[in-house]
Structure 1
């Protein structure tokens, strides 16, 4: 009888842990930025777009009592002389908009959607030319059966971007039996289509046999796979498990670890932690990351990527293999998603069929894209020395 008690107790504990994790308070609402456009005149830069709030739950009704936007300007120099004004107008399907712009508390019913129209005007004369990105920080409240939850989501709007390179302007770098070309883009985000980004900035440079790579983090932010740490509520497991990781690891903070738990579940994290410890005892390093899954290695905690995403936690991309196949078909060259760092580590997360991955290992080992704020998420690799 005693032999049955331990497995039953373990099973009950695992079931309780998973149930507690899955039934924790959460709002079903989703916020998406859509149809953002930039226009300019001699002394005014105008950015306008829509924030769409959807409720996929069939029955739950959720209040949105507060919604505000805090814009942040990013650019190449001091922007303090510029003035910014923001206006939010509710665009509910069943209410007339208020002329004064006040956001009145609104109920988003099950399977319904509402919208907010945002207009941001930037004034300041010649200094407007220094602005390249507007970071739209949306702070909104969800109120319902789950309690009162603060939500926060940032969206970058590209104001200006680099002109796509022409083939005669490209400055290729020599590598090990290959040449590489880091390709600049604007600051990427959820308003972008990833294949259109590749087409816009790289298509004029492509030749048959080339391999076009995109970093895993830039693709992830295009897919919207990032969140502000204020949206993460670390539990006891996250606070305990994070303490055993090296301080430079993205899992060494409670929010970073909780992000992984939210993706793979607490049971897998506990199993990976125990399994990783046992593997370490027999001199097998990296056991936790192998057992916890790819996202354990791909999560970037704050400071882990380029501003303004340095204030967010970024997951790894999803649907990587299908993206590479679609992009390769659209562009006519091989495409790969890569994770590269300054230590010479190159990981090919996914690639199109027939891609020369040993070539990528040689070409990307020096990390030609850089790990700072170069904004070169694309690297074009060409076999031979050009």
Structure 2
């Protein structure tokens, strides 16, 4: 009996130590958001202008930003090597004079305060074809440093800024595909990201096509990136638990890398992941498979490691969407049709993450089994399902 109590005590102390190390890991409270991007043609050049806002929600902690750089990456279907980009950042701190030389002075963001930065990116090409017709999207990657009681953290956050958007499909152009007891219509969008709003995307690209009884679906990854639920691996610091346990997963799993598994640990905590692995390992020889994912939570199945999504998100780790049920209900109320968030692959697996009240999920499984949206670069994250 004493031996059992000692084992339980040691186990409790070990779990407390693991949780304490996790909760005390270095972290900065600063939040960076990009907004208000505009695109203007100026002679032979295309000029993008937008704003970065850095806010500090912490009440007392003061955090310094000694470095901030903006790196644009061009995305398109043509050869873009001749296009030259130049970037200029202009701090607009509320308590300091604006510098005109483009230099970033180290700045302190005090508790419950914020500051803004104006960004201008100029794109100039050497060919007669306009830059705006060759570049589809610009990935605006912000590399910045946070310095404070937690130490010195290098952070990296990017968003997509679309230069072109596909035309909205008119009802007369809608070429539905025949399905099992239904018709389906994939809808092309621009490359989605945090500058978008999920409901507005649904309304913009599908609003004119909707009829009573329709079901409008959107992929889980597009919803997640709109919510900003992705991170570059360079900003993730895998602990010993992630480095150890990632080796037991199948090599194709998104949890088979230290950063991928650490992303899950950061979401649900190390104790839950460790216990899920222990229980799953004990039950697997008994023919009970999948218990790790059941116990670790929904995010364990939804995380996409690098290469798992379309560029430029293929360079990041993407989580599953947050609060998908609420989003579906709000979208259904706004659009007047059923809405669902789905995860579909080319192997015929259809998972409905969430759907609005009254949605016919059985119909969705039949309609989406052929994966009409595709998994490559089709950019058709929306699928309209119409009952026969």
Q: Which residue of 1 aligns with 2:240?
A: 236
Q: Which residue of 2 aligns with 1:57?
A: 58
Verify: 1:347 aligned to 2:348, yes or no. Answer: no
Q: Which residue of 2 aligns with 1:126?
A: 129
Matches within 5 A, 1:88-167: 88-124=89-125, 125-128=128-131, 129-167=133-171
Equivalent residues of 1:84, 1:120 under 8 A apart: yes
Aligned partner of 1:214 among 198, 213, 218: 218
Question: How far, CA to CA, are the matches of 1:3 and 1:249 in structure 2?
Answer: 36
* CA displacement 1:8-44 (0-9 Å, x = unmatched): 2111111111111001111111111111112224522
Q: Which residue of 2 aligns with 1:265?
A: 269
Question: How far, CA to CA, are the matches of 1:338 and 1:136 in structure 2?
Answer: 28
* CA displacement 1:310-353 (0-9 Å, x = unmatched): 00000000011110011001111000000111111111010000
Question: How far, CA to CA, are the matches of 2:40 and 2:253 in structure 1?
Answer: 42
Equivalent residues of 1:79, 1:127 under 8 A apart: no
* CA displacement 1:166-191 (0-9 Å, x = unmatched): 01111211111111111000000000
* CA displacement 1:32-64 (0-9 Å, x = unmatched): 111111222452211111111111111111110
- For 1:12, what is the secondary structure of its paired residue? helix
Shift of residue 236, structure 1, vs aligned partner: 0.7
Equivalent residues of 1:34, 1:50 under 8 A apart: yes
Gaps of 5+ in 1: none
Over 4 Å off, 4+ runs: none
- For 1:208, what is the secondary structure of its paired residue? coil
- For 2:260, what is the secondary structure of its paired residue? helix
Q: Which residue of 2 aligns with 1:311?
A: 315
Deviates more, 1:90-99 or 1:280-289: 280-289
Shift of residue 127, structure 1, vs aligned partner: 4.1
Q: Which residue of 2 aligns with 1:28?
A: 29
Question: How far, CA to CA, are the matches of 2:151 and 2:130 in structure 1?
Answer: 44
Q: Which residue of 2 aligns with 1:43?
A: 44
Question: How far, CA to CA, are the matches of 1:41 and 1:97 in structure 2?
Answer: 25
Question: How far, CA to CA, are the matches of 2:208 and 2:76 in structure 1?
Answer: 27
Question: How far, CA to CA, are the matches of 1:151 and 1:167 in structure 2?
Answer: 45
Taking only aligned residues, the RMSD between alpha carbons, in angstroms, comes to: 0.9
Equivalent residues of 1:81, 1:127 under 8 A apart: no
Equivalent residues of 2:85, 2:123 under 8 A apart: yes
Q: Which residue of 2 aligns with 1:299?
A: 303
Question: How far, CA to CA, are the matches of 2:289 and 2:8 in structure 1?
Answer: 29
Q: Which residue of 1 aligns with 2:85?
A: 84
Verify: 1:324 aligned to 2:325, yes or no. Answer: no
Q: Which residue of 1 aligns with 2:189?
A: 185
Gaps of 5+ in 2: none
Q: How many residues were matched structurally?
A: 384
TM-score, length basis structure 1: 0.98
- For 1:160, what is the secondary structure of its paired residue? coil
- For 2:97, what is the secondary structure of its paired residue? coil
Question: How far, CA to CA, are the matches of 2:155 and 2:168 in structure 1?
Answer: 36
Equivalent residues of 2:91, 2:116 under 8 A apart: yes
Shift of residue 4, structure 1, vs aligned partner: 2.1
- For 2:142, what is the secondary structure of its paired residue? strand
Equivalent residues of 1:82, 1:127 under 8 A apart: no
Question: How far, CA to CA, are the matches of 1:379 and 1:130 in structure 2?
Answer: 27
Aligned partner of 1:358 among 355, 362, 371: 362
Question: How far, CA to CA, are the matches of 1:108 and 1:118 in structure 2?
Answer: 19
Equivalent residues of 1:43, 1:126 under 8 A apart: no
